[in-house]
Amino acid sequence: MATELTNLSNELASAVARAGAVVVAVSARPRINSSGIVWRKNLILTSSEGVRFEDGIKVLFPDGRRAEARLRGNDPGTDLALLETDTGGIAPLDLASDSKLEAGQLVLAVGRTVSTGPIASFGIISGVASEWKSWRGGKLNPFVRLDLAAYPTSSGGAVVDAGGNLIGLVSTGLSRTSVLAVTRGTVDRVAQKLQDHGYVSRGYLGIALQPVALPRDLKEKLKLDQDTAIMILGVEQNGPAGAAGIILGDMLLQAGDRALTDPETLADALDAAAVGADLDFRVLRAGAVQDVKVRVGERPRRGR
């Protein structure tokens, strides 16, 4: 038994050492640093939550070298930020596939502090789902929740399995109750956009809404195959929906070929639509169904 525990201990220490070779300390907020990982040559992925200012960002590398970095891109919705600096000869670790992530797997969170060097905590994956939308409007695909203690300085650091394979970044800013891992599916979708454009554009209609139940007699009369729709409670005068003729009291039934039964289904439709593209809506107005074409706008970006 003692030998098995010793072997496990040694394997976990090796996993931390392997991850620690690409984990850096990021100083981009007052008083306390966060962590990041070398993603590609001269590019570092870190936590958006840990980037509170754009000027004077500093990075501490595993070999003790310090360098200034500039913010290349930022997406609070998925808690990812991209920094650019000279990463020297550090070879990035490839992110492992999401396909084998399962609840119950052992994982380690590996970060780095400016004062003490590498830090690690140990736990398990407590939940995996196909996707999840954060309270900031971004989408994680897949959703991976961790059951471990994440120090404030661990945010943006590496999540690795027991074999030292990199499976994601530590996120403490997307859930008020849980530590999450931002894994390859999300990184592949978001990080390249941050490198190319500096941000992730998201569709926007300029409306306030709420889900409502459709009366049975109306469903039967109009041959509607859904129990709920989305009622418009407010319309921005110069917003995309307002410009297309959407008015107060309209009920959105469908976007493209997607039934709109609640705000989440509308958000999914906007995620799938390109900014600037036309999206066809079926709208219930004054007891009659009509088609309205709306040009999808870009959601305004908020300052930090």
Question: How many other C-beta atoms lie within 10 A of the C-beta of residue 216?
Answer: 9
Structure token pair of residue 81: 């930020």
- Asked, for residue 146, whether it belongs to a domain, the answer is yes
Mean pLDDT, residues 229-248: 94
Q: Which of 175, 197, 219 is the last residue of a domain?
A: 197
In a domain? residue 303: no
How many domains does the structure of the chain reveal? 2
Q: Are residues 176 and 273 in the same domain?
A: no
Please, what is the end-to-end C-alpha distance for the chain in angstroms? 51
Q: The domain that contains 263 carries what CATH number?
A: 2.30.42.10
Report the Cα 278 to chain-centroid distance in Å. Answer: 25
Q: Are residues 8 and 133 in the same domain?
A: yes
Considering the domain architecture, whether residues 146 and 210 belong to the same structural domain is answered as: no
Q: Are 292 and 186 found together in one domain?
A: no
pLDDT confidence of residue 304? 44
Q: Give 119: exposed, middle or buried? Use CB within 10 Å, 0-12, 13-18, 19+.
A: buried
Token pair 């729709």 is found at 229
Same domain, 172 and 190: yes
The total number of residues shown for the chain amounts to 304
What is the secondary structure of 120-188 as a DSSP string? EEEEEEEEEES-EE-TTS-EESSEEEEES---GGGTT-EEEETT--EEEEEESSS-SS-EEEEEHHHHH
Q: Quick one: average pLDDT of 223-248?
A: 93
Domain match, 163 and 258 both: no
234 and 97, same structural domain?
Answer: no
Quick one: 185 and 212 in the same domain? Answer: no
Looking at the domain assignment, is residue 110 inside a domain? yes
In a domain, 81, yes or no: yes
**What are 46's strand-pairing partners?**
36, 81
What distance in Å separates the CA atoms of residue 44 and residue 180, rounded to the nearest whole number? Answer: 19
The residue range of the domain holding 246 is 203-298
Residue 193 lies in a domain: yes
Q: Mean pLDDT of all residues in the chain? A: 92
- In DSSP terms, 288 is beta-bridged to 285
Same domain, 171 and 265: no
State whether residue 238 is helix, strand or coil: coil
Exposed, middle or buried by CB within 10 Å (0-12, 13-18, 19+), for 287? exposed
- Which tens digit of pLDDT belongs to each residue from 158-199? 999 988 899 999 999 898 889 999 999 999 999 998 998 898
CATH of the domain at 129: 2.40.10.120
Ramachandran bin of 264, using left for φ above 0, alpha for ψ from -120 to 50, beta for the remaining angles: alpha
End of a domain among 138, 167, 197? Answer: 197
Q: Report yes or no on 304 lying in a domain.
A: no
Query: Are 188 and 268 members of one domain?
Result: no
- What mean pLDDT is predicted for residues 95-99? 95
Does any domain span residue 261?
yes
pTM: 0.77
Q: CA-to-CA distance for 198 and 81, rounded, in angstroms?
A: 9
Confirm whether 156 is domain-assigned: yes
Q: Identify the domain boundary among 197, 230, 245.
A: 197
Distance separating alpha carbons of residues 142 and 93, to the nearest angstrom: 20
φ, ψ at 196 (rounded to 5°): -80, -40
* 220 and 183 assigned to the same domain: no
**Dist. CA 123–CA 127, nearest whole Å:** 12
Q: What is the pLDDT of residues 8-67, one digit of tens each?
A: 888 889 999 999 999 999 999 999 999 999 999 999 999 999 999 989 999 999 999 999
Least confident span in 8-22, 116-130, 140-154, 264-278? 264-278
179 and 208 in one domain? no
Q: What is the DSSP string of 22-85?
A: TEEEEE-SSSS-EEEEEEETTEEEE-GGG---SSSEEEE-TTS-EEEEEEEEEETTTTEEEEE-
Pairing state between β 34-40 and 288-295? unpaired
